[in-house]
Amino acid sequence: MIIAIIVFTIFCLLLFFIGFTSKDHADKSELNYFLGNRKLKSIQIGLSAGATGNTGFIMTGAVGLGYAFGIDWLFLPFAWLIGDLIFWKYFPHKLNEVSHKENIISPVSFISNNRIITIILSLIVIISLGAYASSQFIASSKSLTGYFALEQKWGILLTGFVIIGYLLFGGFRASVRTDIVQAIMMIVITSIVLVDVCIRYDLFDNYGMFTSASKVGFSIPFFGWSLFTLIGFFLGWSSAAIGFGLGQPQIISRYFAGQSIKQVKNAKWIYIIFLQFTWFGMTLFGYLIGLSGFVSNDPESALAEYSLINFTPLLSGIILAGIFSSIASTIDSMCLSISTSITKDIFKRESNQVIRYLILLLVVLALILISLSIETHSSTVFVLAKLSISLMASSLGLAILLKLTTKNISDKALFIGVISSFITCILWYSIGYSNFIVESLPALIIGLIISHTLNRLKY
């Protein structure tokens, strides 16, 4: 245990060091602090966007879904891939082009010049991102609890301390550089645990394990699903992927920061391969340990518990660092995006370095408090993350989609469409229909219909 703690501590100190050395003392401009002076190349864009998009869901929620529900959830990354392919064909390079041409730092600034619309949309973004970031704090606390038997509140506090330590003074540069380190860690960890579980349970020869699952339908794809459910699964999650790409400001900032359109286009397969390998790999890991009979106290802590039981303290510490990587790379980007929205969209004024640091610190502290409140309830990381993603897709995602695809759309048509979409998303989830079709799909459809109808009526 001591060795695992030492390894994890060394990794956290490495993040601190990267954050400290990322600070550019000579250039204190907002463009440098929030977008790194738009100098990202394809590898940086792909890995940073991938690590930021990966989230704690991959190392907790995805493992938990595979462990608890079986083979069906191995198809979720493929449904997401369909949406990602559509998204990358049409949007990232356009976002880069618009950002360079109009000198846009915050995605919300791209939507409208109307002050009221900007403030309302900013508040929706901040609330949705805050809920999403809180789910990541809880994911981190579950992993730390699985290793060190800490109360979840201490896991949340430790995560917040580390995030503040390396992000506060390094800004966007620190976020991108730590993302790349964290992405490499996630690839290594995914590879290690997959190889280990296959060798440990002799899965290359023990084919009988796949037919002897104790849970009904655990190893039978789409067992008990209707055709409507199957179509809804793929359509819903594919649309969610498109909405996710357009509705996550912490990822959009990576496209804004790209050096050129060419660099953004070249990042496509780096992003997709990284995301698919880690997502599918960790879901497969959860499915395999579910088959093996491994018992976990919490499906979303299964990776941490498995590593603690089966690996040496040194390797166990590395695994913990990898889990923490997937989570921290998302939280830091979200915190920076929220502070950007507060600074650039709500207050709409140039801010000095001290003010930027103070706002970012307050954002992290607020998210810690929210997470401490949420963790006392029974919501899973998957539920919180899915709802937050859908809320972002139905608001900011729809707004950006309309701006990129609809010529001269009026502010009123866009705003009413976005509000309608956002309300539809909440209602669809509240009624319980999201068990059949993820709420982002009907929300986007309603929003698009209303916006285009009003725009044609010249409203």
Of the two residues 8 and 429, the one the predictor is more confident about is: 429
Residue 182 pLDDT grade (very low, low, confident, very high; cuts 50, 70, 90): confident
* Residue range 47-57, pLDDT digits in tens: 989 888 776 67
Residue 457 token pair: 């009526």
223 phi/psi in degrees, rounded to 5: -65, 125
Sequence ranges of the domains in the chain: 2-213+246-380
Distance in angstroms (rounded) separating the CA atoms of residues 10 and 12: 5
pTM: 0.85
Residue 209 pLDDT grade (very low, low, confident, very high; cuts 50, 70, 90): low
Q: Tell me the average pLDDT across 331-355.
A: 76
Contacts of 408 (CB under 8 A, 6+ apart): none
CATH assignment, 2-213+246-380:
1.20.1730.10
Q: Tell me the average pLDDT across 29-58.
A: 83
- Range name among 226-235, 316-325, 418-427 with the lowest pLDDT average: 316-325
Residue-level pLDDT at 229:
85
Residue-level pLDDT at 376:
52
* Residue 231 pLDDT > 80: yes
Residue-level pLDDT at 424:
94
Residue 75 token pair: 């198809």
Residue-level pLDDT at 418:
93
Residue-level pLDDT at 249:
86
